[in-house]
A and B are shown apart, each in its own frame.
Chain A
């Protein structure tokens, strides 16, 4: 029985109301701080994405100059000088007579234009039609500034006669935008308008393939052994702690290991995608082991007991029942590893993968670069036009990551199972 007299009378009165109101206000404030924090974090994401998109999308389009190519000479010219002379003729044609100096017009076109013309004229047939030539990066920036309102503060290095020529060309409707497909089909270059991410994409693909071929079987094997066969003792307990630690140490340390072991002891050439891939394999190995072990653990013991009771061997139980049931989880973990490896660049810096790569590597031992490193190299390049390229390459990288992450989410949704 409770002693009624000892319970204090309920507090009442204006003082209590005031106090309560203050406490509720504090509560609201507390809640507001949370909202503000989340709002800040969200606005960081928006700012990041917004910056990349605003700066990056002009790199996906390029300026082209439509020139009337008229060629009926019997012999095709042989050297660059002759092609350049032809180009100069073509570019002059749409311009009314003015004081355009010969030397100032050719730089309006991209430095690669003569090669394009050579391919056009290679069979020696007469030609008479409009051909789109890629403009130089100065013209590209100039037109994008004018039409798209980007880069308002960019200083142009075009001379007044060149600008006059450009105005005339624009009036004649000979300047136009087109999709910059060469961004996806060319390697790195000193000129921003012809630099592309093709070599980096191929390099990334090769490096990732090596990483997966190395890390997936080893990681899966280790996870299977640790969760199904390993005896419970101090040694394996220590090993588990150690694997957790491997997953958390800075990736740059794996770069040191790669340098010391793959380059110095195994003598794999510097910059090769083989060394990079193996090093990335080391980085993602603990991720694959940990997530595979988690996936194996979610398969209930009853499945194991059932299979064993029916006379299946341990290995049969494993390969016929446990592995198929945990496969979605294992694949998810592997994809997480791939996501990690795709964005990783620090350990590769130390393996010399910062080389200037124009042509995609043909074998695993040739110098290669990967997409994040290409971004890093371009980000340091002060030439105008590389900011757009860097942002565009970043957008491509993020798109790949988004794609992989959506597959992970789908896998989880599709195969999530409650036992």
Chain B
């Protein structure tokens, strides 16, 4: 009996330690980023970092800051690419989800959903290569035929390909939400003689709106944090522009570009990368958190049906 108690206790302790590791990781993420960022903000004021438009960090060496660290154009670039991606993935994702959850037969649904989800399973480096090899030359040729000069590395190419990539994030989550709506809403509306399309538009989408919103938030958080694709397709130069035909750079691209060299750990570039990482962490954390809250509230609302 005693040995049983000992075993029980030691097993529980081991499992608790494993849980402790996850807590440790979270704290590690937050402290490591915060620690370096605080050092960074010692020599670059927060206001200049957030709203300054001059980004040229590479001139600095350890302990000697001569570069400029105004990250506004990076944020703008991230927002621009995300907006382009959403305007591609939004309509396609929404209409696909509506089709799979209402019109498609169960057999079709079982075929369509996994194929759409394949888009999310493709590694992002593959999308980056696809953008370089296929989409960028096509866009350039298309631009020339209508008299537009589209750079080979441009926001529109990165945004388009990213849009393809995040289609399943919207369609899949939205389909889940629409599919699990109580049957009574649908039956009630159809029973009143309303057509299928009108039922969807006026009864089901409004009921599922929180779910749709959270799907979009997740897609945004995914798009903002996406790295490889933009590193390969969007460009490195910090242009303050909202012209989608021009190369832009993003927060993630700059984090990578400042850390892939062989600079020392306390150089201003490295610290700036951590400050950008902090900004990225906060942005995606907020989006994810709101998205999860919405889903949770939505679930409890429709419980019991």
> Which of these binds chain A: B16-24, B41-49, B67-75, B241-249?
B16-24
> Which of these binds chain A: B141-149, B179-187, B191-199, B297-305?
B191-199
Q: Which of A48, A286, A346, A405 contacts B256 (CB 8 A)?
A: A346
Find chain A residues with CB under 8 A from B218 CB: 248
Find chain B residues with CB under 8 A from A343 CB: 121-126
- Size of chain B's interface in residues, with CB distance under 8 A? 84
Indicate if the CB atoms of A257 and B29 lie closer than 8 Å: yes
Closest Cβ of chain B to A396, distance in Å, is: 11
B103 within 8 Å of A by Cβ?
yes
> Which of these binds chain B: A106-114, A127-135, A373-381?
A373-381
CB-nearest residue of chain A relative to B287? A248
Indicate if the CB atoms of B12 and A315 lie closer than 8 Å: yes
Find chain A residues with CB under 8 A from B274 CB: 256, 260
Indicate if the CB atoms of A253 and B29 lie closer than 8 Å: yes
Closest Cβ of chain A to B220, distance in Å, is: 11
Closest Cβ of chain A to B131, distance in Å, is: 10
Q: What's the count of A-B pairs with C-beta under 8 Å? A: 256
Closest Cβ of chain A to B102, distance in Å, is: 8
Interface of A is mostly: helix
Closest Cβ of chain B to A346, distance in Å, is: 4
The listed residue with most B CB atoms (<10 A of its CB), out of A42, A225, A254, is A225
Closest Cβ of chain B to A183, distance in Å, is: 17
B77 within 8 Å of A by Cβ?
no
Indicate if the CB atoms of B22 and A34 lie closer than 8 Å: no
Indicate if the CB atoms of B19 and A249 lie closer than 8 Å: no
The CA of A48 and the CA of B231, in the complex, are separated in Å by 19
Find chain B residues with CB under 8 A from A250 CB: 221, 224-227, 252, 280, 284
Closest Cβ of chain B to A94, distance in Å, is: 37
A105 within 8 Å of B by Cβ?
no
Q: Which of B99, B226, B255 contacts A37 (CB 8 A)?
A: B99
Indicate if the CB atoms of B232 and A252 lie closer than 8 Å: no
The CA of A260 and the CA of B231, in the complex, are separated in Å by 22
Query: Would you give the 0/1 interface string for B147-175, flagging 1 where the beta carbon is closer than 8 Å to chain A?
Result: 00000000000000000100100010000
Closest Cβ of chain B to A149, distance in Å, is: 18
Find chain A residues with CB under 8 A from B228 CB: 345-346, 349, 372, 376
A202-259 at interface with B (beta carbon < 8 Å): 217-222, 224-226, 229-230, 239, 241-246, 248-257, 259
CB-nearest residue of chain A relative to B29? A257
Q: Which of B22, B33, B92 contacts A256 (CB 8 A)?
A: B33
Indicate if the CB atoms of A245 and B134 lie closer than 8 Å: no
Interface of B is mostly: helix
B80 within 8 Å of A by Cβ?
no
The CA of A261 and the CA of B32, in the complex, are separated in Å by 8
A163-190 at interface with B (beta carbon < 8 Å): none
Interchain residue pairs with CB less than 8 A apart (9): A34-B96, A230-B19, A244-B292, A251-B227, A254-B29, A260-B32, A289-B22, A315-B12, A375-B129
A residues with CB within 8 A of B: 23-24, 26-27, 29-31, 33-38, 40-42, 44-45, 47-48, 51-52, 55, 217-222, 224-226, 229-230, 239, 241-246, 248-257, 259-261, 263-264, 282, 285-286, 289, 313-315, 318, 339, 342-346, 349-350, 352, 354, 372-373, 375-376, 379-380, 387, 390-391, 394, 397-398, 401, 405
B residues with CB within 8 A of A: 4, 7-8, 11-12, 14-19, 21-23, 25-26, 28-29, 32-33, 35-36, 91-96, 98-100, 103, 112, 115-116, 118-119, 121-126, 128-130, 132-134, 164, 167, 171, 195-198, 200-201, 218, 221, 224-228, 231-232, 252, 255-256, 259-260, 262, 265, 273-274, 277, 280-281, 284-285, 288-289, 292
